Every structure is written in C-alpha cells, then in structure tokens.
C-alpha cells in the first residue's frame, strides 16, 4: 500500500510539473505581448509560441487521459476480432502520416494456413495506439533509420517485433522504462513526454498480452509484443 501511495504521489507530482511548463510559457508569452504596443512581427512571434505550447499541452493531456483509461479492466470497451497483419499495415499508414520521412518495412513472414489463427481479440483503436507508439519511438530515436516490424505466429500467440538501430537505452535505466514521465538520459535532444511506453505497456497488458524490451545503448532497441490468438480463448 505504501508503495502504491508513493507511486501515485510521484505520478501526480510529475504530471503537475509537465502540465505547468507549457501553461507557464503561454502565460509568459501573453503577458509579454500585452505589456505594451509591439510590432506585427512581435505579435506573430508570440502567437506562434503560444500556439506551439498549446499544441504541446493538448498532446500531453491526451496522453494522460489515454494512460488513465488503460487503468480500467477493459470490460466497458467493445472487444472485436482483430486480424494482426491488417492491423500492422494500418499502423504503418498512421505512422507514415505522422513521420513521412520514415524507413519502415513490415515483414509478415509465413502466415498460418488457417485464417482463424490470424486474429486476436481486443479494442482495435486502442491496440493500434499501443503499437503505433512503439513504432514512432523506433523511428524517432533512430533518426528515421531503417525500422523493421516483424509478425510471426505460434499456436498461442501472434508476435510483433519492432527493431531499430537507434540510440538505445542505457542499461542501468532499463528498469524505469514503464514509469510514466521517465525519459532516458540520452533523449534530451528529442521531443517527448515519457508517456508512450507506459501507455503501450498498459494497453498490451489489458489485452492479456506481453511486452518485452531489449536494448543496447548506441546500437538500438528491440520491442516484442505477444498477443494471445482468439482461437481457443475463452469468451470475454
């Protein structure tokens, strides 16, 4: 219980800090603009700064809401059959729109002859967010170098593996990667909030799946997602 309270307090403290930063910037820029008459160029500059910080705040709030929603047990969500190979191509399409300079290849490998073994059960939009977060991170932290997304199957699971050749994660920091707002010490030059991986982890766990990460600093990161196949599962 003590650990749970401490974790909650840390989350609230970190969330407050992250939300306060863009709000402070917006107020400061607005006060600067209103202090006296300024040139049109100065007003335009201030509006651009305010717009940028407002967009940052919007993304942060959305991430926090998504993260909070994954604390539910999923019973209120709509569960459907999701074909995993089609899901991956939808993820690629989404990431292409966000990061048009990416170099993502999707390898579906040998698909099961029985098409019923291509499906998992879950909430498609939320599951797509989880996988997209991981693929976006792979592109971002490898500066858009080649990112490989592999899909494989066994009797129980569909496995999605995302490999990049980016900056990697320092070994001593791996234990913190699922903590909200944690960002590795070598990511300071990259935009981010430390919400994507905890969000993906919670979503995969909500879908009764497994998420594992292996990484070598300076060489790259591999993330594997295992999702239980619908075949043989009990009805939710």
pLDDT tens per residue, range 66-105: 666 655 555 566 789 999 999 999 999 989 988 888 999 9
169 CB burial (10 A radius; 0-12, 13-18, 19+): buried
Mean pLDDT is lowest, of 61-75, 170-184, 221-235, for: 61-75
Q: Indicate if the alpha-carbon torsion angle 210, 201, 70, 128 is positive or negative.
A: negative
CA distances from 4 to 10, 16, 194 (A): 10, 18, 20
pTM of the model: 0.73
């Amino acid at each position: 219980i003590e650990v749970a309270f401490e974790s909650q307090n840390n989350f609230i403290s970190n969330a407050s800090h992250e939300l306060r930063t863009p709000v402070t910037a917006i107020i400061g820029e607005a006060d600067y603009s209103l202090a006296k008459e300024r040139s049109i160029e100065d007003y335009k500059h201030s509006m651009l700064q305010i717009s940028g910080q407002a967009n940052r705040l919007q993304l942060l709030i959305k991430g926090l809401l998504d993260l909070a929603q994954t604390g539910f047990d999923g019973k209120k969500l709509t569960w459907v059959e999701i074909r995993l190979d089609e899901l991956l191509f939808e993820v690629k399409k989404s990431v292409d729109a966000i990061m048009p300079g990416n170099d993502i290849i999707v390898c579906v490998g040998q698909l099961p002859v029985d098409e019923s073994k291509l499906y998992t059960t879950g909430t498609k939009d939320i599951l797509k967010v989880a996988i997209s977060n991981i693929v976006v991170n792979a592109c971002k932290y490898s500066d858009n170098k080649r990112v490989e997304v592999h899909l494989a199957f066994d009797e129980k699971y569909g496995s999605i593996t995302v490999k990049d050749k980016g900056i990697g994660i320092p070994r001593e920091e791996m234990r913190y990667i699922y903590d909200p707002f944690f960002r590795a010490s070598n990511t300071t030059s990259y935009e981010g909030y430390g919400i994507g991986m905890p969000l993906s982890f919670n979503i995969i766990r909500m879908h009764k799946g497994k998420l594992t990460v292996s990484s070598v600093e300076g060489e790259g990161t591999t993330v594997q997602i295992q999702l239980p196949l619908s075949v043989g599962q009990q009805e939710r």
